[in-house]
Structure 1
Amino acid sequence: MKNLKYTSWAIMMLITGMMGCREDLLTTVPNDRLSSEIFWKTEKDAIFAANAVYTYLDSVNIFYFDGMSDIAHNNSVTSPEALIERGQFDPTYERIRTEWTKSYAGIRAANVYLEKVDEVQTNNKEIITRLKSEVRVIRAYLYIKLAALYGDVPLLEKSITLEESRNLVRTPVAQVWDFIYKELGEAATTLPVTQTDKGRVTKGAALALNARGMLYAGRYELAAQESKKVIDLNIYKLYPSYSKLFSYAAEGNEEVILDKQFVKNNYSTNVFQLFGPWSQRNSNSAVVPTRSLVDSYPMSNGKKISDPTSGYSTAEPYKNRDPRLGYTIFIKGDKLPDGTIYNSDPGSGTSDAIDFSWFATSTGYNMKKYINPEDLEQPANSGINIILMRYADVLLMYAESKIESNSIDLTVYDAINQVRRRADVNLPPISSTLSQTELREIVRNERKTELAMEGLRYFDIRRWKLSESIIPGRVYGITYMKNGVPTLIEVPAFEKVFNKNRDYLWPIPQREMELNARLTQNQNW
């Protein structure tokens, strides 16, 4: 997929008709879109147009969702995401609008593709069938996000005119979930298990996304069924090194089921510049982990840090902890991409110190996933792929759906223990005699720690209806020694807010309501 560099569509969008000295001078090819007279002719057209639909997959925008949850904080207190953290947002807010408009732009691109691609003349109908299934999966991916964020949303299975768009109504979310399940199920039947072109949608991606969709919908038996299908493909396994999982060396490894592909100098991402520590060429520390996340990692013996017998020491808070803590978050003493040592303590004199600038981390922690030394010289020109679905998530979805449907058996314990016992994590296995309540707590914490800073926590705690109890309050960070006294960092003048009567669904963007009087608003907005 990277060989195609995602640029085909953009290049062709610039192609215009040759005007020259012709009698039909005014009959020109439009320069803002591709004309059917010159496109939808060859297999290459079909491939390039499908690649254009792939650009609508999420990328760095997913990390801001974690900043709106309990495990992280949007470091710029004036950003749209920070205002959502504060509960100070409404239907006019930028982030509310952009997630809606970008998703529907992708859905429109997918619908146009599905309507036009059969015009391509080819004897190889299998490639057209495959490409159509890839596009259907991407469309379903976008609908999963829309349904999870907004609830009832217009369900569009074909392209529409401007006039038709002014008369859309919201489809009940249950019907949207029905559509997602049907679409992904049908696409999975025609997609290959593997693709020669890395990054293209596969059968496993369709099945795994179906598991996610059904889990979000609360349809646990279906979620278990779909995640088990992924497991039974027997082609995915956990990458042995969690510490390297988000590095260039691990790209395309056996754990990755779906990722957004990037290429330096061509189709790049600015993940390092946005989320790296401030000391690293003035990267932005845009989303920083909180104490809530750090404290959720158990000791290496598997015990919670709150357990008096765990061996946890406030003097050495990171010693003998779940290794994923140090693989996910920059903590004091870590080596940074430029070779210096990370120290965010106030007064430490480093540019990562909490009191150094407005741009340095306000909690004392920084995101480590995706922050690779290869991107140090050009932080805004990263080629690292952003993982959107991996096998560990599938294992935890399988375990959770079996727990919630009260179909607990040894496969549930095995799925959780596989994640906990990855080679460079190696936590003790959980007991096989736990209750449903105990297992629920364990699998939820595993999702919190295993998938931290990957954009999933915000969706998890909303569907668990936990947001109202764990989001509100002050934001805390590191503990450091001040005049010989352990002192807990509290982000000044900032408090997270979550209104249980309103915030479990985002509002329908105000601009959409103004353009279409038939759209209704979510409750209490």
Structure 2
Amino acid sequence: MNYYVKPTLYVFLLCSFLPISCENGLQEESYSVFDETTLTKPENGLQGVRGVYAALRDNGGNGYYAGYLHQLTEYPSDIVTTKPDSRQGIQLDQLTYDASNSIINDVWASIFRLISRANESEYLIGKIDYTGNGESEEVKMQHLAEVRFLRALAYYDATSLWGDVPLNLKSSADFTEADENPPLVAQATVEEQIVIDLQYAQEHLPLSYPAELNGRATKAAAQGLLARLYMRRGEWQKAADKCGEIITAGEYDLRAPGEGGVVALFDNMNRSDNEFIFVMKSSSEPGSYGILSNSFGIQSVPWDYNRGWGNFPIHREFYAKFNPQDQRRQLLLGTYKALYGQIITLPKEFGGEGGSLPDTVQAQFTFGLKYPHVNNYNYAGYNNVSIIRYSDILLMRAEALNELNGPNDESISLIDDVRERSNVSAIQLSDFSSKETLRDFIFDERGLELFMEGRRRDDLIRWGRSATNGADPLLKFKEKVKPLLRDQNTYSDAVNYALYPYPIQEIQANTSLDISINQGRVRQ
């Protein structure tokens, strides 16, 4: 797969920053290369760990969790869309992508680069004598747990996007010629390894870190990712139990209304709120593992609002779903004064002001404000990117308990915790006559709570799988996405939109693969 180096073990350590093209407008890390004879101290193990964290952003301000992954998980959904001139993005949004789509290729490369770094770091850390160098064995196991958590996260993403993928757990020091062209491995087998890594991680990761070190994986991060995997597999009791462990531990909670609630949660300066269980840290502060920024802010807002690029417009129909009192609606642009003086507003039927204001222009889309873009032309966004959040844990447990038992008091209470924090009225158990009605409500609530956090595509597929007992995972995807396509004939029942095509670059480089593996994943 061309993302592994051999035959000498290498670990990549952040050492400097070099400017890259103004297309990204950000900074990109460069790395020094050392081998295992040089890296023999516990601090070198920590450097290896940080190198794996840095791979969450990969090749610049759009790489992996800094942007491209969200294009795969949000564009083909019923909430986020894109501009007609966004090239590769429009293919994802309108379901016209194929194996040559550059974003699909980039995310695949990012995922397997992280996996490669994790394998190298695991090997390196295993060779270091921590106790002989004044450090505890517990710290060594924590470093290994962080690396294995990140590898599990990468494989979770890979299997969510492609299903069967190559499985590699070796460092380059142990590579054989056969490893040059790895075959696809069944998704269930890869998931078994994800569980093994996450069980190790939850055993050896700490409950928390000092505030300045947020962004490093905790025990709850491993439990939360396990819960997410169990939800995907329909293992409801295991998912409910993992979420329950996080809730019972009491390390995390919702940002309360008295603290500014959900709007303040996404403030640009909110670095270490304990509603965020795991984030991609965007900061030059200590512990930031070299990830300085992301471009979500400038990508999310339009030019006439704050000179943004507006590459993540959101359907007007989504804004209309919010109760006007719902504070989460403040994380969307409904009405605003443009740079050139006009009032930009959504039509009344979508919850905006319509033509009631003077000098108004009706908006075709709304835009998200979860990733604040401050200062004109400021390409760098220093807000953290949420990967696992406490409200997601509450809603996952509510969903799992409903799948197990139908409507129940605890599910209602968990949902109300999330709603009432945002000034939305409580729901009652008597409002729901069946498992199906509460399930639909939960998935709608998840959309309102977690939009633009990379969850919607997975949610739509899981919703369809639950609604049909696994017979038609695309039922809800088709129901929600197809009506919003510019051309509904684009949707093809012959394509399995639950799986992306394997990248053409990988097929050409890996002799174990051929183009036939994409049959049914793209239009013919």
TM over 0.5: yes
Instruction: After TM superposition, list the pairs within 5 Å mapping 1:271-310 onto structure 2.
Output: 271-297=296-322, 299=323
Asked if 1:75 corresponds to 2:94, the answer is no
Shift of 1:169: 1.5
Q: Is the 8 A contact 1:328 1:367 kept in 2?
A: yes
Q: Deviations over 1:421-444 (max 9, x none)?
A: 11x423223335622111101111
SS at match of 1:389: strand
Which has the larger share of helix? 2
Query: Structure 1's 377 and 41: CA in aligned 2 closer, same or farther, altered over 3 A?
Result: farther
> Using the alignment, how far apart are the partners of 2:81 and 2:67 within structure 1?
15
Match of 1:37 in 2: 37
Q: Is the 8 A contact 1:87 1:496 kept in 2?
A: no
Instruction: State which of 268, 271, 277 in structure 2 corresponds to 1:248.
Output: 268
Q: Is the 8 A contact 2:13 2:33 kept in 1?
A: no
Match of 1:501 in 2: 494
Q: Is the 8 A contact 2:316 2:346 kept in 1?
A: no
What is the letter of the counterpart of residue 446 of structure 2?
R
Instruction: After TM superposition, list the pairs within 5 Å mapping 1:54-133 onto structure 2.
Output: 54-57=53-56, 58-64=65-71, 65-123=73-131, 124-133=136-145
What is the letter of the counterpart of residue 275 of structure 1?
S
> Using the alignment, how far apart are the partners of 1:41 and 1:61 within structure 2?
35
Q: Is the 8 A contact 1:279 1:351 kept in 2?
A: no
Give unmatched runs, 5+ long, in structure 2. 1-11, 19-30, 57-64, 348-353, 464-473
> Using the alignment, how far apart are the partners of 2:384 and 2:478 within structure 1?
33
Shift of 1:128: 1.2
Asked if 1:511 corresponds to 2:511, the answer is no
Q: Is the 8 A contact 1:208 1:226 kept in 2?
A: yes
What is the letter of the counterpart of residue 86 of structure 1?
Q
> Using the alignment, how far apart are the partners of 2:273 and 2:143 within structure 1?
23
Query: Structure 1's 131 and 71: CA in aligned 2 closer, same or farther, altered over 3 A?
Result: same
Instruction: After TM superposition, list the pairs within 5 Å mapping 1:206-225 onto structure 2.
Output: 206-225=222-241
SS at match of 1:53: helix
Asked if 1:238 corresponds to 2:254, the answer is yes
The root-mean-square deviation of aligned C-alpha atoms, in Å, is 3.0
Q: Deviations over 1:140-170 (max 9, x none)?
A: 1111111111011112122354833443111
Asked if 1:263 corresponds to 2:298, the answer is no
> Using the alignment, how far apart are the partners of 1:179 and 1:437 within structure 2?
33
Match of 2:242 in 1: 226
Match of 1:430 in 2: 428
Please report the TM-score for the alignment, with normalisation by the length of structure 1. 0.79
Shift of 1:458: 1.5
Instruction: State which of 495, 512, 524 in structure 1 corresponds to 2:520.
Output: 524
SS at match of 1:508: coil
Match of 2:52 in 1: 53
Query: Structure 1's 76 and 261: CA in aligned 2 closer, same or farther, altered over 3 A?
Result: farther
> Using the alignment, how far apart are the partners of 1:133 and 1:335 within structure 2?
48
Q: Deviations over 1:476-500 (max 9, x none)?
A: xxxxxxxxxxxxxxxxx66684434
> Using the alignment, how far apart are the partners of 2:507 and 2:270 within structure 1?
44
Question: How many positions carry a matched residue from both structures?
Answer: 450
> Using the alignment, how far apart are the partners of 1:199 and 1:388 within structure 2?
10
Give unmatched runs, 5+ long, in structure 1. 1-7, 15-30, 300-319, 355-360, 476-492
What is the letter of the counterpart of residue 47 of structure 2?
F
Match of 1:368 in 2: 369
Shift of 1:260: 0.7
> Using the alignment, how far apart are the partners of 2:489 and 2:243 within structure 1?
34
Q: Bigger shift: 396-405 or 338-347?
A: 338-347
SS at match of 2:387: strand
Shift of 1:9: 2.1
> Using the alignment, how far apart are the partners of 2:81 and 2:489 within structure 1?
9
Instruction: After TM superposition, list the pairs within 5 Å mapping 1:307-326 onto structure 2.
Output: 320-325=324-329
Query: Structure 1's 389 and 500: CA in aligned 2 closer, same or farther, altered over 3 A?
Result: farther
Q: Is the 8 A contact 1:328 1:453 kept in 2?
A: no
Q: Is the 8 A contact 2:307 2:376 kept in 1?
A: no
Query: Structure 1's 433 and 381: CA in aligned 2 closer, same or farther, altered over 3 A?
Result: closer
Query: Structure 1's 427 and 56: CA in aligned 2 closer, same or farther, altered over 3 A?
Result: farther
Query: Structure 1's 426 and 251: CA in aligned 2 closer, same or farther, altered over 3 A?
Result: farther
> Using the alignment, how far apart are the partners of 2:150 and 2:508 within structure 1?
28
